[in-house]
Amino acid sequence: MELRVIGMSEGRRIPDKFTCSGKNHSPKIEIHDRNETGYYFIVMNDPDAPSGLFTHWIIYNIPAGIVTLEENIGNKEITEEGYYQGLNDFGELGYGGPCPPRGDGDHRYFIKIYRTDEAVSRKKIDAEHAYEILDKMSPEAEFYALFSRE
């Protein structure tokens, strides 16, 4: 599986347009996968948050294969493509961009892709329920970048 996050570079600073300092757009994600079985479950989180792991985005029930999630996909529960978005740790549906406390230094932001055998029937999944589903699974691909606010 190949994961590309368009407009970001692995291990580098996240551009402001994807953060609370900018437009708070979700990034464009391209997944290239020869294995078209199952569904993708994508989570974006910050393990460096003062309160512990902070989840910024949950999007799931994405049929496996070659997939593109467009930039600024919106914050609807069900996207135009039929993918489901869960509640982030801001308490909102969809993407909530990086927004670490000012002066807290670089935080790492991971985008991880998991594969589920079947579509997840539950709607409005929050981080707690997402990690229950993914508990014994390993991500099939991941990407990370950095962000801090002065």
Task: Say if CB 30 and CB 4 are below 8 A apart.
Answer: yes
Q: How far apart are CA 15 and CA 22, in angstroms?
A: 8
Q: How far apart are CA 83 and CA 9, in angstroms?
A: 25
Above 90 in pLDDT, residue 124? no
Which range of residues forms the domain containing residue 46?
Answer: 2-147
Q: What is the pLDDT of residues 55-76, one digit of tens each?
A: 999 999 999 998 999 999 999 9
Q: What is the pLDDT of residues 36-48, one digit of tens each?
A: 999 999 999 999 9
**How many CB atoms within 10 Å of residue 71?**
15
- CATH code for position 80: 3.90.280.10
In this prediction, residue 14 carries a pLDDT of: 99
Share of the chain above pLDDT 90, in %: 95
The number of distinct structural domains making up the chain is 1
